[in-house]
Amino acid sequence: MVRLSGDGAVAVGERLVRGLGRRGQGRRLRLCKVVHPTHGEVLDQAMVCIMIGPRSYTGEDVVELQTHGGPATVAAVIGACLEAGARMASPGEFTLRAFLNGRMDLAEAEAVAGLVGAQSERARRVALRQLHGGLGEVLGNIRRACVEVLAEVEARLDFPDDELEDLPVEPLILRLDDILGRLDALLSQAPAGRLAREGARVVLLGRPNVGKSSLLNALVGRHRAIVHSSPGTTRDWLEDELSLGGLRLTIVDTAGQRPGTEDDPAEAMGAQIALDQALHADLVLLVISLVEGITSADQRLLSQLGDRDVAVVLNQIDLVDDETLDRAADQAAARGLLVMGRTSATGGDGVSALTDGLRNRFDGGEVAFEELPLVSEKRHEESLRLARGLVVDARRKLRRGRSEELVALDIREATVGLSSITGEGVTEDVLEQIFSRFCIGK
């Protein structure tokens, strides 16, 4: 589909589709010949629709040409549009115009990019909920509550100091507490929103030959990593994706961690890269060989991970008896480690249960549409945290009897911060940064 938008969209369209204006402008699809505006060569036979602003996606006059597709056909039609007086749109320009013309707020516009770029079912549904205006509605209610408190605080500025002392501040504090509760409810959704949009990164870490590469292959269901009995086969990190209940998980295989790698710079570099990957993971799966159990080398690895979220996979259950397996599980529990899987990566035993454990860990089950998070963008989260801090400051100043002017300033700035999420008063730099992430044509 080739889309034209702007004051001259219909005029350009008429040069490509003869008699387009005389066929009516009623948002109806018509089968028409698309011709070159200069020499009249027929380029394609397309379904053509005119939408007169403001009742269009951009709020402007829009002409859409639904071509047969194919690179050559589309290129010819686009070239004809340019010849007729149009220009190429910038990334996200159609959605930017929709925002500027009041067809959607900025949070809804960002949801368009989220919908186009969604890599999982959960990401798609979260973006769609935001596109429906859910976040703007909730923010509008919070903003109105802030304005009501601000109006009362400013009204108190007209009272003499002796009368002001008799006015209770508790009702205002209670209303600020209510606003804080609403902001906290939105902020609590941010981790789930980020998870839905970006997915989770799970890193397999452990000593050489404990089965990390085999486990990666088993989890993703294909031969992704080389498996060999020689230690140090994996020198760099490898990754592949796994979809769990609509969530996207990136599984990362890493080089084995063992002492004495100083004599092999490549292996030492691989071991360091593995630790770096683990330190930036949403979850680290420490793979333990049941043949050897939890060793001092595994303990050193755990100490290097600090406060990272770590779970254990007890691998090679096909090589040990049940007593050995139970003893290793008890060892892990005694160290406060969650055993997420008991697997035979080469044979496939226990891999399905490990997958279920990952699904439960990242809440990859079905969620009702109205329960999906409204906050998924980092920009939104930062603005909400800024607004929350200002409301906290205003509440503290009220309790301490500070000047109403200072209280009003905090609440006013919090309101501005909330408004920036939906685009009120947002700067051109912010708009450029947001819409530069869009693809051409949106």
Look at 126-130, 134-138, 187-191, 400-404 and tell me which has the smallest mean pLDDT.
400-404
- How many angstroms separate the CA atoms of 317 and 349, rounded? 8
Contact by Cβ (8 Å): 14, 20: yes
Q: Read off the pLDDT band of 243 (50, 70, 90).
A: confident
Return the pLDDT at 164: 53
The predicted pLDDT at position 367 comes to 73
- How much is the pLDDT for 229? 53
User: What are the C-alpha distances in Å from 186 to residues 173, 292, 373?
Assistant: 20, 47, 8
Contact, 123 vs 114, CB < 8 A?
yes
pLDDT score of 396: 94
Secondary structure (3-state) at 240 = strand
> What percent of the chain lies above the pLDDT cut of 90?
45
Residue 224: is its pLDDT beyond 70? no
pLDDT of residue 173: 93
For the chain, give the mean pLDDT: 87
Q: Tell me the three state secondary structure of residue 256.
A: coil
Chain-centroid distance, C-alpha 331? 38
Is the pLDDT reported for residue 429 higher than 90? no
CATH match for 195-361 among 1.10.10.10, 2.30.110.10, 3.40.50.300, 3.90.550.10: 3.40.50.300
Q: Which residue has the higher pLDDT, 246 or 288?
A: 288
> Which pLDDT score, from 0 to 100, does residue 118 have?
87
- Would you state the pLDDT for residue 50? 92
- CB neighbours of 276 closer than 8 A, spacing ≥ 6? none
Q: What fold characterizes domain 131-185+380-424?
A: Four Helix Bundle (Hemerythrin (Met), subunit A) (1.20.120)
Q: Answer with the residue of higher pLDDT: 14 or 27.
A: 14
| pLDDT over 70 at 130, yes or no | yes
Contact 128, 111 (CB under 8 A): yes
Tell me the range of 187-201, 272-286, 334-348, 374-388 where mean pLDDT is highest.
Answer: 374-388
In the predicted structure, residue 256 carries a pLDDT above the cut 90: no
Which residues of the chain does CATH 3.30.1360.120 include?
A: 2-88
Report whether pLDDT(295) > 90.
Answer: no
Whether the pLDDT of residue 139 is over 70: the answer is yes
Least confident of 136-140, 176-180, 204-208, 408-412: 204-208
* Helix, strand, coil tally for the chain in percent (to 5): 50, 15, 35
Q: Which CATH class is domain 2-88?
A: alpha beta
Q: How far apart are CA 331 and CA 335, in angstroms?
A: 7
**Which pLDDT score, from 0 to 100, does residue 234 have?**
53
- Give the model's confidence band at 438: pLDDT under 50 very low, under 70 low, under 90 confident, else very high: confident
Residue span(s) of the chain under CATH 3.40.50.300 come to: 195-361
The answer to whether 328 and 287 are in contact (CB under 8 A) is no
The secondary structure of residue 261, as a DSSP letter, is: G
Residues forming a β-bridge with 65: 2, 48
Give 397's pLDDT tier (boundaries 50, 70, 90). very high
Is residue 441 scored above 90 in pLDDT? no
Per-residue tokens: 380: 């939104």
In this structure, are residues 159 and 404 in contact, taking their beta carbons and an 8 Å threshold? Answer: no
Task: Kindly tell me if the per-residue pLDDT of 137 is higher than 70.
Answer: yes
Q: Measured between alpha carbons, how far is 20 from 43 in angstroms, rounded to an integer?
A: 16
Two tokens, residue 195: 């998870």
Predicted pLDDT of residue 108 = 93
For the segment 309-337, the average pLDDT, to the nearest whole number, is: 90
Position 152 scores a pLDDT of 87
Ranges in the chain annotated CATH 1.20.120.430: 131-185+380-424
- Please state which of the ranges 10-19, 222-231, 343-352 shows the lowest mean pLDDT: 222-231
